[in-house]
Structures are given as C-alpha cells and as structure tokens.
Structure 1
Amino acid sequence: MPSLKNFAITYDDLHNYGIFSEGDTVTGKVTLELEKQTKIESLSVKLKGDVKVHWTEQHGEDSHTYSANRRLFKEKHFLITQETKDTRLPAGVHIFKFSIGIPLGNMPSSFRGGSGKVVYKLEARLCRSWRFDRTDEKEICFRTKAFPNINRMNFQQVGSTNKEVGIFNKGTVQMDVTVDRRGYVPGDSVLINAKINNSSSKDATPKFSFIQDVEYRVKGNTKHDKLVICREYRECVKPQTLKEHTFSLTIPPDTPLSIQNCDILSVEYRIKASLDISFSFNPEIVFPVVLFWDSPHTAGGAIGGPSTSDFPAPVSFVSPYSSATSATSQYPASAAMYAGAPSMCSVPEQINAYGYPFSSSSSASVLHPPPPATLLHPPSSGQAHSQFSSTPPTYNTLEVENDHFAPLPSGVSVPSAPMMTENFLSQTDEEPPSYEILFPSSNGSNPRPK
C-alpha cells in the first residue's frame, strides 16, 4: 500500500483578487496526507518566473526551430531540510505553511501566446528514500507595476489623414481622430472622437480596431503575431457629407498587459482608425497605446484620481500605490524581506522551530507553522535605539556620528538671518554724500585737485 495519499500546494489570494506584483508575499500551505509513518528526506517550496519562446518555420523541405528561455528569478525554501536526519512523519494529515516574497525588479507580466509565454509558478517537491520525487505546482498571475513615464499616459492623441479617392480626381476624404489617453487598464473604455469630411463621390465607412502585436525574438530571428482584440464599425458617411462620431471602445478585462521589458518577447497595442472605401486604398491612423495594471483598491484609477492601494511603489516610476500592508495577508512582509533577506521559512538550520508536533492519532491534522520572525536578523540595541528613538532632536543641539546629539558650547547660539522689513534702496530721497565729506584731505584745507 502506498504511504502517500495526497500531496498538494495551495496559496492565499492576495487582497481576494489573486494578482501579485513586485515585492508582494505569497503565502500558502503544503498539505501532506500519509497512510502510514513515512521517512521524509526533504520538503521544499519554490517560486519562480520564466519566459519561454518556441516556434518552427518551414523553408522549402527544411524546417528550422527557434527557442529561447529566460529565468527571471527563483526563490526556494525548505520546509524539511536535507540535513535533518531520520525525519519521520506519522500517519495523518500534515499541513506546512510557507511564506515567499517576490523580489523587487522590472519583470514582465504573465502572458501566454501562440509561440511564447511568461509564467510564474509555485512548486512543492517531496523527496523520499527509494521513491520518485512527488511534485505539485500552481500558476500565479503576476502583473508588473513598473511602467516608464506612467504620468504621461493621460495625454491625448490626435491624428489626421487626407486622401484623394479614385484615379480620375473624384474628390478627397479627410478624417481627424482624437483618442482621450495613451495608457489604459484592462476593462477601461477608450473615448474616441472622429470627424469625417467626405468630399468624394464614394461612401466611406469608419472602422476602429484595438490590435495586439506580439513579437518573439531568438538570435536575430523574429516572429510576429497580430490579434484584433475588438473592432467597431460606425455609420457610413455619404458623399459630400460631413459627420462626427463620438463613442467608447471597451477593452476586455482579461486582456494581457503590455510587455516592454523582455529581450525575447514583447507585447504592444495600438488603436487603428480607418475608412473603408470601395476600390480604393483605405486611409488609416494608428495610435500606440499601453496597457498597464491598476490595483482594484485604487480610487479613480492610476490616472484619474487619488490612490488607496495597498502596494508599495517601485523606484522605477512614480506610482499611485501607497506602502501600507494589507490586513488580509496572513504573513505580512517585513522590511528585511523587501531588502532581499530570506523570508520566514528560508532558514534551514532552524528546523527545530517547526516543532513537528507529531500526533499518535492516524486521522489527526498536524499544523507546522513557519519559524517566528524573531529568528531572523534581530537588530542590535544600538540600531534599535537609533532607528526607533522617540526623542526628536531640538534646534539647540549639534548632530554628530552614530545618531547621537551633543549640546552646543555655552555662549554659542544658532545664527539667524536678518529680517528685511523695508526696501533699503528707497529709504530716502536725499543725494548721497560727496567724496570730500567721506574722504577729507590730510591738511584739512586743500580740496581734492580737479
């Protein structure tokens, strides 16, 4: 009879909407159900991000395959270390909690395309003697907040085109289009205003499309995929007619974000406004746009209003997010974790901190919490005093090294700038004194020679 009945990893939805970003902490548990007492060599949890590109092209009778991989990051924590000897778990259900921090950095958002993908995964691995390793993994949704020039995303875009219709001078068609912004969040509505002046003898039908362009790159070879996310036709403009259209084009909420920070895969978006004219080349205007992520807790969006988000802003751009930690997170991230230090479960030598409270009952559920935060890098008394001193410095003290303050010597005061109460250049209308009055001669009688 096999000793392992169930092995699974689950994670907690951050803020109840299941999206993670830079600096967030992924918490969850590994459930291990045993039919009998089992010797465990190691139990680990790994969080990783990878970019993979792969496609095949046919050139005559030959086919060429192009592939590339990029490892974004990997964080591995041991719940039961390999150094622990004779770790035996009794029959029953054992739950191991974990907490892993996503490192800060400029990483692309999750994406799956026809020839490539950006994937972030949690993986639990159980190693036993004389048994194949047992693994279970879950994919998490990652959306980056690191977009450059995010404050310029609310600028309008204006475009115009003028085209002659027909070969035998049958008139012209002019179209002026305004798009309300440059950047959007999935689920937003794009406000479009179009003015069409049809001075030709043909009908012109306005068409507006939201298009996704994906490019895959491997050693100088590229592959392009184009996908029309949504499209809308407006009322036909008859010959010798001037018409204006104002409407909204809604972006689907599940549309992937733009990817501009990966060397082997990029995702870009554009809005194309065109006129369908029979037997003629269709005039068109193209507006590049960016899809970025805005937390659902942000009031009014990243562009339109103040922020109440629970996410810290990365250094690479001015973000609407604040630095508060969510109360719904079971294991709040510490300052050491954001600085790159190990998280609460990343100290293998402290294996006794887990306790392993084995139960004699075969149906018991044993909870194995992570080690307490006090096991990690406790601050010294001097550091704690300098960082958390409640007595602020006063103006009559002098700052010296090690954040200590010494009083100024007696009789020494802090100088202050003089108060200018009036314009000293206009204090009097009298003429300035003459040279003789200021500098009299040595004998007192001879005036200055002229």
Structure 2
Amino acid sequence: MSLTVKSISVIYNPINQNNTFTSGDFISGQVILDVAKDTKMQSLSVKIKGKAEVCWSERHGKTTVVYSDKEKYYSVETFFVREENTHGNDHETLKDPSGQPYSSVVAAGRHVYPFTFQLPLQHFPPTFKGSVGKIVYTLETKLSRSMRISSKAKAEFHYVPSPVVSNPELMAPQYGTKDKQMKLFTSGSVSMNINTEKMGYCLGEGLKVLAEVQNNSSRAIKPKYCLYEKHSFFARGKRKLHTHDLFKEEGEPIEQNSRKTVTKVLPIPPSLTISILNCRILKVEYRLRVYLDVPYASDPEIKFPIVILPLQSLSAASSATNSDFQIRNYPAGGNAYPNPPSMPPSAPPLNAVGQSGQFAAPGHYRPPLSQFPAPGYPGPPLSQFPAPGYPGPPGQFAPSNYVGLPAQFGPSVSHQSDSAPPPYLEYQLYPQLPEHPEKS
C-alpha cells in the first residue's frame, strides 16, 4: 500500500446468525477507501465471484508432476469509477446519489462506497476447504491509478446452496444383505439384512439403521457402525482420494445360534460439510459402513451412500425474484426507498459515496416476459435441468438493473480420461451416486 492510499477494504453485512448466504440472497457491503491526500483514481471496482480449484503434486521416479484444475461459476464486476478508454462497455458503472458519475478525484480522508449484489438462483457447490482443493466465494475490490501498482482487497463469504425441493431417490429406503461362511478358528455362518429409512439426511438429523442379524456361528458377534467421509479431487485424468472416519458405534453382542433385530439411531454431526456432488473437479461424499465384528475372521460388511443435505431454513431467499444475477447499489442509510429488500441496511458511513441513480428502486420492474414462468415459481426440479451451461431458471420479471451472467462464466465442461468418473450435471444437485473404488 502506497503512502497516498492508507488502506482499502471490502466488507459485507451478515444476514443471519450463521453468517451464510444461499441462492437468491442479497449480499450488501461497502468498499472503504482511506487516502492521505487528494487522489486521482483511474478506476475503482468491486467484483463478486465463485470458483473451485484443486492442486497437488506427485513424485514419479525423479520427476515431480503437478496436477491442478479450476472451475469458475461466476465472476461479475461493477465499477464506481472507471476511464472509458481502459474498460469496455460490458461492466456496470454506478452513479452517486444525484445520478452523476462518481468523481475520479477524492479528497483526503475515509470514503465509503456501498453496493449490493443478488446471488443467482442456480445451485452452486457450497464453500469448502480440503487438503488439496477448495471452493471459495469472494468479494474483491481493486483501485487502479496511473503509473501506480493497483491496490486490492478481498473478503470471503460462506455460501450454502438452498435445500433440495424434492428428490425421490434421496427419500427412498436402502437395503443390503450379506452372508458369510466362517472358516479356521470360527465355524458356522452369519448373515445380516440391513436397511435405512432413506439416503438423504439434513445436518443434525438422526440416521436410523435397522439390522436383522442371524448368528449361526460358534462365537458371539457385535454389530458395528461407522460413518466416514470421502474427499475426491480430479485433475488431468487423475483422482486423489482422502477418507476419514467421522465416528464409530457398536451394538450389543448377539450370542451364537440366535437371531436378533437391532435398531440404531446415529446422530449426524451438525458441523459436517454438506455433500458436494455437483462440482466437476472435487466431490465430498459420505458412506455408512455396517459390519459384524467376528472374532478371528474377516468382518462381513455392507456400505450405503449417505447424502448430507442443507438445513431446511437458511434464509429468506425463497422470496427473492427469480433473476439470474443482479447488482444494486443502495444508499447507506437504506431509507431512500419505501420497500427495500429483506436484508439489513448498511450502517451510515463516513463520507459515504452514494447510490447509483441508473438503478431503479426495489420493486420497479420491466414489463413481464411472457415466456418466463409466473412470479414465485421455484424453477423446475433439479433433475430436469439440461446440460451444463444452462443459465438457470429466470423469473417472469427482469429487474431494470438486471445484470446477467455472461455465458463464459457458466459451469465449465471439459473432457476427462477414462480413469476419472464422468462429470455430474451441474444443476442436478444430488444425482445418482457412482461407485468409486473404496480405500480401507
């Protein structure tokens, strides 16, 4: 940071106690610029973007190979100040409260530039950070001056997709059967029939397991339960896998030559990352392993895929308009309009540089577009979304300040080698789970 620019930062206002955002939410904040003297700006912008990336290295003999890949979900930038000859016309330029362009020259002191974005209603993967990969959503600001190094700052925000509307596969029961003939130090046989009520569970919900065990062996056996997570990372046709046991529990012993039905409810920790199945380069999956602890013999086991879903009530996003992406710049006090959106107003700043006059007040819309569905329509079921690149279900009314996601910022698709599983449909949030090779 130069002596002229004392500091620059971007902050946002939380909208709930968990400090999370979901599809359709408004995220408002301020770019705060503190300068030591009169300063001429070439441009000042704020950008919102989301992306996933993976990177790891492997040794092959004497050679180190780096595997990396990225997937961009969106990147939209808007300017408070810009010179027309340095940027194209594909970016929004905000105006001051009087409807005039922001001044490119600011006096010494602290200046606050408020802004508001509305997140698209598409289902993007949630915020995640793993060993060799991550999914991040950020707000970034950049100040450019002639013949000077640009000053930048960013802030990450936590994104969680909205709950799945309905998916019969997630609500269907799961069944598994296993028989095993004992050898060597244990004679006889054991068998078990295991079923769960469903595949999809919300954070904090109880996972109910019903086990019917027939012990025809010469020893007492114990049913045991293990929930573990699988993190898979993909790049250049390679897959890197990390597994981790979350918890283990065991039931009461079942004596030899007896039959018993056991019901076990396993609590799903509320701190888990929800399942990530709609990202091309990384996956977060969960498995329930039910097995019988047989002394002096290998343990028969059954595995079930478990999908961890978002909580049912994350925010007031359901009341948002079905737009693809919106940018608004409201006045700092939040009282200029009679019907502001459902979000916390910005705190009154010092030397606030105000609201864009080119954007209409909340509730002001263009005429309805007949090909779009009625207002409030939640969009088609996830399984009906077409191939990646589809921009998501638009609403009937397009706000006058509508800024659509450029096509190049949609989920990308790339060809993968046969060693990597095929990509999921980006908008089918929880599709059929493929079976990957397990690691003990």
**After TM superposition, is the score higher than 0.5?**
yes
Counterpart in the other structure of 1:54: 55
Contact 2:186 2:297 in 1 (8 A): no
Contact 1:25 1:99 in 2 (8 A): yes
Q: Which runs of 5+ in 2 are unaligned?
A: 85-100, 331-348, 371-440
Secondary structure of 2:148's aligned partner: coil
TM-score, L = length of structure 1 = 0.67
Secondary structure of 1:371's aligned partner: coil
Mapped pair 1:371 → 2:323: no
2:317 maps to which of 311, 315, 318: 311
Mapped pair 1:286 → 2:303: yes
Contact 2:202 2:310 in 1 (8 A): yes
Secondary structure of 1:261's aligned partner: coil
Shift in Å, 1:76? 0.7
User: What CA distance in whole angstroms lies between the structure 1 residues aligned with 2:81 and 2:154?
Assistant: 18
Cα gap change, 1:232 to 1:98, in 2 (>3 Å): same
Counterpart in the other structure of 1:245: 262
Shift in Å, 1:204? 1.8
Q: Deviations over 1:97-138 (max 9, x none)?
A: 111122333422222111211111111112233432222111
1:161 maps to which of 162, 166, 178: 178
Structure 1 stretch displaced more, 83-92 or 153-162: 83-92
Structure having greater relative contact order (Cα 8 Å, sep ≥ 6): 2
Contact 1:190 1:248 in 2 (8 A): yes
User: What CA distance in whole angstroms lies between the structure 2 residues aligned with 1:376 and 1:131?
Assistant: 38
Correspondence 1:48-447 to 2 at 5 A: 48-83=49-84, 87-145=104-162, 147=164, 150-167=167-184, 170-296=187-313, 310-312=316-318, 324-325=319-320, 335=321, 338-340=322-324, 342-345=326-329, 365-372=350-357, 373-374=359-360, 383=367
Cα gap change, 1:18 to 1:168, in 2 (>3 Å): closer
Shift in Å, 1:147? 5.0
User: What CA distance in whole angstroms lies between the structure 2 residues aligned with 1:19 and 1:88?
Assistant: 36
Counterpart in the other structure of 2:19: 18
Counterpart in the other structure of 1:37: 38
* Identity level (%): 28
Corresponding letter in the other structure for 1:339:
S
Secondary structure of 1:274's aligned partner: strand
Shift in Å, 1:75? 1.1
Secondary structure of 1:153's aligned partner: helix
Counterpart in the other structure of 2:346: none
User: What CA distance in whole angstroms lies between the structure 1 residues aligned with 2:202 and 2:254?
Assistant: 32
Contact 1:94 1:367 in 2 (8 A): yes
Contact 2:163 2:310 in 1 (8 A): no
Q: Which runs of 5+ in 1 are unaligned?
A: 298-308, 313-323, 326-334, 347-363, 387-450
Contact 2:120 2:325 in 1 (8 A): no
Shift in Å, 1:368? 2.0
Q: Deviations over 1:247-280 (max 9, x none)?
A: 3212222211212222222222111101122221
How many residues align? The count is 333
Shift in Å, 1:376? 10
Corresponding letter in the other structure for 2:317:
F
User: What CA distance in whole angstroms lies between the structure 2 residues aligned with 1:158 and 1:368?
Assistant: 61
Structure with higher helix content:
1
User: What CA distance in whole angstroms lies between the structure 1 residues aligned with 2:165 and 2:57?
Assistant: 33
Cα gap change, 1:272 to 1:199, in 2 (>3 Å): same
User: What CA distance in whole angstroms lies between the structure 1 residues aligned with 2:13 and 2:252?
Assistant: 49
Shift in Å, 1:86? 6.7
Contact 2:233 2:240 in 1 (8 A): yes
User: What CA distance in whole angstroms lies between the structure 2 residues aligned with 1:341 and 1:214?
Assistant: 30
